[in-house]
Amino acid sequence: MKRLDVLLRGNLRQYVMIIALVVVIIFFQIITGGILLSPLNISNIIQQNAYILILATGMLLCILTCGNIDLSVGSVAGFIGAISAVFILKMNMPVFPAILISLLIGVLIGVWHGFWIAYVGVPAFITTLAGMLIFRGLTMVILQGTSLAPFPKSYTFIAAGFIPDISNIEGINLLSILAGIIASILYILYELKDRASKKRYNFEVSSSGAFSAKIVSIVAVINAFTYALARYKGIPAVLIIVVSLVLIYSFITTKTIPGRHIYAYGGNPKAAKLSGVKTKKVLFWVYVNMGFLAALAGIIFTGRLNSATPKAGNGFELDAIASCFIGGASTTGGIGTVVGAIVGGLLMGVLNNGMSIMGVSIDWQQAIKGVVLLAAVAFDVYSKSKSRAI
Amino acid sequence: MGEYILEMRNITKEFPGVKALDNVNLRIKQAHIHAIVGENGAGKSTLMNILSGVYPYGTYEGDIIVQGEICRFKDIKESEAKGITIIHQELALIPTLSIAENVFLGNEQTGKGLIIDWHKTRQKAIEMLKKVGLNENINTRVMDLGMGKQQLVEIIKALAKDVKILILDEPTAALNDEDSKNLLKLLIELKNQGITCIIISHKINEVVEVADEITILRDGTTVETLCRDIDDFSEDRIIKGMVGRELTSRFPERNRNIGEVCFEVLNWNVYDPKDNTKQVIKNVSIYARRGEVVGIAGLMGSGRTEFAMSVFGKAYGKNISGTIRKDGKEIIMHDESDAIVNGIAYATEDRKSAGLILIDDIKRNIVLPCLPKVSKRFVVNENEEIKIGEEYRKKLKIKSSSVLQKTGELSGGNQQKVVFSKWIFSEPDVLLLDEPTRGIDVGAKYEIYCIINELAEKGKTIIMISSELPEILGMCDRIYVMNEGRIVGELTAEEASQEKIMQCIMRSNKEVM
């Protein structure tokens, strides 16, 4: 019981944010008369927010390392979109190698940032502020101030396409249903294995009642979700990318040695160094990774717009940063989770989408998002100071 | 009534699940130096936080009576208005501001309205500096002062607020012997000027020297109050009161089982990382055998920490030259992780800022230097991690709610045990221990000594740095004396004494001159 208490206190903001997300969803579901969770709109929300979620994942790692942020991601995303457009539309390169080279350039941009931050010691804020200006400028240079469009189908597929179905039943996508069932089975197997291993170590496990309740509810959510997708066009291609990134990065941050090193560095860089963590390497790779994810987000965003524009990616960095902080990351580093950042990103995405359906204008949306960010962090600060005072 | 300037009656303070203070009574006479001693977690700091208004009225039970009047402080401002000022262990100075600015921070000398009267500020500051005998320019920035002088600035700051009761929390913990002596002298002087001082200290010898009365706390209750000239005022008597039993020996016995030479450092030279021309370590050569506890004695700033850190995978310094041999074979280390792989561990003197990740729990801290041991490929086995955490928590008796407790919430002694767990877990052959018992109470010190002895008995090589000479003399088989980055003496346990160590240092100082 005590353990649960400790666990709850530690992750309070994350749980609160999940609850907030559910409340916001229900609120808009009622107010929009059911449009929000309609199969069409669910696919929309996913495709609209994929690039922010991807950026938030990378940004979380930056924030974990002592609250460093990467201001350049929006510009880098725009730059990579522009470069891929030049490759494909001006140089007539085939789509697949063009994307691959663009991603590689993203990695190189990450190497550039990582080098200055980790090995020269220029503060991350300055380095990435410079990167923001550099790559925004270069985007305009290579696009010569105009937009490049349209892209071939195979390019936009990643962002706007759906995985083709395996059968031809009218009105329902069999593949999506199947994916839900497979995901449920994998999830159940994982939980059972985890429980068995805990028992092997003679640790306390939750009562079998609570355990099955948890499994049933999560399986229900998974299948309701895939069923909704099945009633529209099936699984959006970008969903596969986002889900795999979330799983991979959650795994890396929580279960692996490099993940531990990131958290240790963020918690106390001196102590981490004296414990044998190669701190410069950690910092370097975090930014290399951010470069890669920014490039990926750039390609997805460009694909969704079906055009590369000089202004693409403006302000993305701020949405990504806000997602992390709404999702419970600490401004001083060492605290935060990938899942939290995703929940934060989704919360903002649903707010945007819901307000758009209601006809709230873009300017008001922006203001409301600001209030949500402030409220989320203020709540966290308040609850922390309270738990300390008792 | 009038005899006491301050009374705290039946103070009880509860934190969730713990009674930190249970019916504590404290009576302090005007113009006395009153010491409060007790082990870590005995409730000293909690009591002082209540007195100074950090924990406001209503969060505790009992009464605070200052000069016959019951006080209910809502915050620090209100207690300060009554003339009560607390100086915390971590000083509350702004390093980039000058002495004068710091002294009147929050108490600015204004002419009209909000405008600072700098003439008045300076004049008053100079006066105050003279009063405590601090011979510094008032425009010097605080960051350019040594710890001892910074401590004085804190006291001046309190005096500027017209303090009647001055509370000092571990005032000499970070000071060297000379600065400590000066500070204690100043306290006696303040007493003669009619200021009441309350000091919290682990250094019992200092307490015995200056205090008029000593209140001993144990497990949140007052054990007794001893008065000078009435009660037995000896160190042993006080320690007995603190731990509740007689400590037969302050240093546990060890079965000496000393083997071959295991670790050698030869012709070691290190330069200051910020200043290429400044040589910090000069041609140092030392060796240590298996099962041996080797001490490095020396004054603060003699280069002991720099030496140990530079040996530990070049964690400090530039242009490092020299050889390190382990079991006769030369080893080359480029960074800290090389050192760990080569079986060398370094437990830092600065537990909080460089030893532990305070926002992480006990188990994560313990496995950090040696994650591969609990991992398959790159994946950490969290259950194994909990098991190991639990194992060390039991073995080293780390007082905590579970291995999931954050290390920042533990007391100093228990934090140090986590640091030890962490390095024992990495299975080193050589342990460099830098001030292993700094800021730790007597009981926990004894436990740490036992752990050190046990490690030595198992054949580990221990190199221990300490500023406390009795500790070095009590624990070590052989002692190197370090001064100004050189080894200036080597003594065996039999021949070593405090005087001999000091002689080595003095002699080398003369040679340099």
Task: Report which of residues B37 and A169 the model is more confident about.
Answer: B37
Which residues in chain A have Cβ-Cβ distances shorter than 8 Å to B368?
A: 260, 264, 272, 275-277
Please enumerate in sequence order all residues whose Cβ is within 8 A of that of A241, keeping only pairs 6 or more positions apart, or say none: A50, A54, A158, A296, A300
Which residues in chain A have Cβ-Cβ distances shorter than 8 Å to B387?
A: 201
> Does A141 score more than 60 pLDDT?
yes
> Does B513 score more than 80 pLDDT?
no
- Number of structural domains (chain B) is 3
* Chain A touched by B359 (CB under 8 Å): yes
pLDDT attached to residue A74: 96
pLDDT attached to residue A6: 47
Q: Do A55 and A318 form a contact (C-beta atoms < 8 A)?
A: no
Please enumerate in sequence order all residues whose Cβ is within 8 A of that of A162, keeping only pairs 6 or more positions apart, or say none: A43, A233, A234, A235, A236, A237
Residue A80: C-alpha distances to residues A126, A292, B212, B325 (Å) = 21, 10, 75, 52
User: Could you tell me if B49 and B171 lie in one domain?
Assistant: yes
User: Could you tell me if B34 and B117 lie in one domain?
Assistant: yes
Q: What percentage of residues in chain B have a pLDDT greater than 70?
A: 97
Q: Is residue B252 part of a domain?
A: no
d(C-alpha A214, C-alpha A222), whole Å: 12
Look over chain B and give the mean of its residue pLDDT values, rounded to a whole number.
87
User: Could you tell me if B121 and B228 lie in one domain?
Assistant: yes
pLDDT attached to residue B512: 58
Task: Report which of residues A117 and B301 the model is more confident about.
Answer: A117
Q: Is residue B509 part of a domain?
A: yes
For residue A272, give the nearest of B357, B358, B383 by CB distance: B357
pLDDT attached to residue A223: 93
Terminal CA-CA length for chain A = 20
Using CB atoms and an 8 Å cut-off, which of residues 324-363 of chain A contact chain B?
334-335
Query: Using the 8-state DSSP alphabet, how is residue B223 labeled?
Result: E
> Does A380 score more than 80 pLDDT?
no
Structure confidence at residue A389 as a pLDDT band (50, 70, 90) = very low
User: Could you tell me if B356 and B339 lie in one domain?
Assistant: no
How distant is the Cα of A278 from the closest Cα of chain B, in angstroms?
A: 7
- Token pair, residue A343, equals 């929940």
Q: Is residue B413 part of a domain?
A: yes
d(C-alpha B462, C-alpha B428), whole Å: 10
Residue B484: C-alpha distances to residues A36, B279, B303, B319, B506 (Å) = 73, 10, 6, 18, 11
**Cβ <8 Å between A334 and B346:** no
Residue of B358, B361, B368, B418 best to disrupt the A interface, most CBs of A under 10 A: B368
d(C-alpha B183, C-alpha B161), whole Å: 19
User: Could you tell me if B173 and B295 lie in one domain?
Assistant: no
d(C-alpha A117, C-alpha B386), whole Å: 35
pLDDT attached to residue B364: 93
pLDDT attached to residue B245: 63
* Chain A touched by B356 (CB under 8 Å): yes
Q: Do A69 and A124 form a contact (C-beta atoms < 8 A)?
A: yes
**Cβ <8 Å between B379 and A200:** no
**Cβ <8 Å between B356 and A268:** yes
Which tens digits make up the pLDDT trace of B185-217? 888 988 998 899 999 887 888 888 889 999 998
Which among B105, B236, B234 is positioned nearest to B160, based on CA atoms?
Answer: B105
**Cβ <8 Å between A390 and B15:** yes
Q: Do B456 and B291 form a contact (C-beta atoms < 8 A)?
A: yes
Where among B197, B219, B243 does a domain terminate?
B243
For residue B315, give the nearest of A201, A257, A274 by CB distance: A274
Structure confidence at residue A11 as a pLDDT band (50, 70, 90) = low
User: Could you tell me if B87 and B141 lie in one domain?
Assistant: yes
Residue of B357, B386, B406, B409 best to disrupt the A interface, most CBs of A under 10 A: B357
**Cβ <8 Å between B402 and A6:** yes
User: Could you tell me if B380 and B462 lie in one domain?
Assistant: no
Q: How many CB atoms lie within 10 A of CB B227?
A: 13
Where among B378, B404, B427 does a domain terminate?
B427
Q: Is residue B339 part of a domain?
A: yes
Q: What percentage of residues in chain B have a pLDDT greater than 90?
A: 33
Q: Is residue B451 part of a domain?
A: no
Average pLDDT estimate for B15-25: 79
> Does A118 score more than 70 pLDDT?
yes
pLDDT attached to residue A388: 53
> Does B13 score more than 90 pLDDT?
no
Which tens digits make up the pLDDT trace of B349-406? 888 888 999 989 999 999 999 999 999 988 999 889 999 999 999 988 888 888 888 9
CA-based Rg of chain A, rounded to a whole angstrom?
22
Q: Do B272 and B317 form a contact (C-beta atoms < 8 A)?
A: yes
User: Could you tell me if B200 and B338 lie in one domain?
Assistant: no
Q: Is residue B421 part of a domain?
A: yes
Query: Which structural domain, as residue segments, surrounds residue B294?
Result: 259-343+429-442+458-513
Residue B494 belongs to a domain with what CATH number? 3.40.50.300
CA dihedral B348, B349, B353, B357 (to 10 degrees): 40
Q: Is residue B447 part of a domain?
A: no
Which tens digits make up the pLDDT trace of B94-126? 889 999 888 888 888 887 778 888 888 888 888
- Token pair, residue A185, equals 């089975």
* Chain A touched by B405 (CB under 8 Å): yes
How distant is the Cα of B359 from the closest Cα of chain A, in angstroms?
A: 6
User: Could you tell me if B369 and B490 lie in one domain?
Assistant: no
Residue of A268, A270, A280, A332 best to disrupt the B interface, most CBs of B under 10 A: A268
Residue of B353, B359, B365 best to disrupt the A interface, most CBs of A under 10 A: B359
- How many residue contacts between A and B have a Cβ separation below 8 Å? 98
**Cβ <8 Å between B371 and A257:** yes
User: Could you tell me if B72 and B178 lie in one domain?
Assistant: yes
Which tens digits make up the pLDDT trace of A87-108? 999 999 999 999 999 999 999 9
Average pLDDT estimate for A224-244: 92
Structure confidence at residue B274 as a pLDDT band (50, 70, 90) = confident
For residue A258, give the nearest of B312, B355, B378 by CB distance: B378
* Chain A touched by B76 (CB under 8 Å): no
Structure confidence at residue A280 as a pLDDT band (50, 70, 90) = very high
User: Could you tell me if B266 and B233 lie in one domain?
Assistant: no
pLDDT attached to residue A1: 40
Which tens digits make up the pLDDT trace of B423-463? 999 999 999 999 998 877 777 888 899 999 999 999 999 99
Please enumerate in sequence order all residues whose Cβ is within 8 A of that of A283, keeping only pairs 6 or more positions apart, or say none: A65, A68, A114, A117, A118, A265
User: Could you tell me if B10 and B29 lie in one domain?
Assistant: yes
Which residues in chain A have Cβ-Cβ distances shorter than 8 Å to B364?
A: 260, 263-264
Where among B219, B243, B267 does a domain terminate?
B243
ipTM at complex level: 0.85
Q: Is residue B452 part of a domain?
A: no
pLDDT attached to residue A12: 64
